Amino acid sequence: MQTSYKQIMENGRIIDVRSIRVDHMEIIVTGAMIRTARIEEEWYQEVEDPPLLIETLKQADFMPDIFTFWQTLPQTDPVYDYYMEWDNVAAIPIKSFDFWWEKQINSKTRNMVRKARKAGVTVTPAHFDDTFIQGMTDIFNETPIRQGKPFWHYGKDFDTVKREFSRYLYREDLIGAYYNDELIGFIFLGYGTKYALTNQIISKIEHRNKAPINALIAKAVELCATKNVPYLVYTRYNSTQKGIDSLDDFKRHNGFQKIEIPRYYVPLTIKGKMALKFRLHHGLRGAIPERVRLHLRGLRRRFYKTKC
């Protein structure tokens, strides 16, 4: 096992984490009081032998207190005896493009896709060349605030964008939305073993009235149907209630369902066992009720809106 330090994006901020390399998996460890380990690429890598990996982590020089992992689609019934809580993914079960168009979205969403077409937006597979990278850089640097918080990619130059987004091209398809030959939005569509994931989906705020994001989702569904990919995933649902989170509402309108899947928490130390016993494994953030978190998120959004 090899250990090192690296930076990751978590909950809208950049943090330093400890990284443990185990065979072909990279395990990252977060948290100060309770050190929690998870597979960095858990959206793409499955834990094939949990007992073996758990025993391996117990031998690490820097031993975490808790190891957490989840099951991946389509297996939603718990198969392990470890302590479990329900997590979720926002996913569209893919049957065909026509089924999505006719059965999984409503007339408003269909009209948004038509609106993009009528406005002159063209959506097509793209190539990671210099023109595309420059278009990405322009979109990233359009505004420092997105979704009510500082935008991680704001301020990055061409070379940084090229280096950071070229790492996983072997498992990704690129889809671009163009208006008058200008890149106004894109998706990096990554492929796991059983689903496709919207790694990065974004558009220019200047052209938001042309509904490029809706058009990009439609093209992603079409591509998944063509490749017989059974699910298209747009990370998680953030709230348990409808109408509370605008991004959740967008996912729902575009056919993404909330699918609950098991997440396991395995204590590796005495401290980890105590944390699970007293439900401290989610840290301070997990102790805040959802209603309060959403209220604080709204305050943050209004604060940054006044800063722009």
Burial 257-287 (b: 16+ CB within 10 A, else e): eebebbbbbbbbeebbeebbeeebbeeeeee
pLDDT of 106 higher than 70: yes
Section 172-187 average pLDDT: 98
Which of 5-9, 108-112, 124-128, 204-208 is predicted with the least confidence, judged by mean pLDDT? Answer: 5-9
Query: What is the β-pairing status of strands 172-179 and 182-191?
Result: antiparallel
Q: What pLDDT is attached to residue 96?
A: 98
Q: How far is residue 123's CA from residue 138's CA, in Å, rounded to a whole number?
A: 18
Q: What pLDDT is attached to residue 152?
A: 87
Section 112-131 average pLDDT: 98
pLDDT of 239 higher than 80: no
Cβ(294)–Cβ(245) under 8 Å? yes
Q: How far is residue 126's CA from residue 223's CA, in Å, rounded to a whole number?
A: 13
Per-residue model confidence as pLDDT tens digits over 130-159: 999 999 999 999 999 988 888 989 999 999
Q: What pLDDT is attached to residue 1?
A: 61
Q: What pLDDT is attached to residue 45?
A: 92
Q: What pLDDT is attached to residue 3?
A: 66
Per-residue model confidence as pLDDT tens digits over 20-71: 888 888 999 988 889 999 999 999 999 989 999 999 999 888 889 999 999 9
Q: Which domains does the chain have, with CATH numbers?
A: 2-85+263-307 (no CATH), 95-229 (3.40.630.30)
pLDDT of 272 higher than 80: yes
Q: What pLDDT is attached to residue 20?
A: 85
Q: What pLDDT is attached to residue 246?
A: 86
Which residue has better confidence, 11 or 198?
A: 198
Q: What pLDDT is attached to residue 301?
A: 64
Q: How far is residue 233's CA from residue 224's CA, in Å, rounded to a whole number?
A: 11
Q: What pLDDT is attached to residue 205?
A: 95
Q: What pLDDT is attached to residue 270?
A: 96
Cβ(47)–Cβ(84) under 8 Å? no
Burial 74-91 (b: 16+ CB within 10 A, else e): eeeeeeeebbeeeebbbb
pLDDT of 166 higher than 80: yes
Residue type at position 48:
E
Question: Given strand 13-22, what is the order of strands in its sheet?
Answer: 2-10, 13-22, 25-30, 36-39, 66-70, 257-267, 83-93, 231-233, 196-203, 182-191, 172-179, 121-125
Section 105-115 average pLDDT: 97
pLDDT above 70 covers what percent of the chain? Answer: 86
Which residue has better confidence, 299 or 160?
A: 160
pLDDT above 90 covers what percent of the chain? Answer: 71
pTM beyond 0.85: yes
pLDDT of 298 higher than 80: no
Q: What pLDDT is attached to residue 12?
A: 54
* Average predicted confidence (pLDDT) for the chain: 90
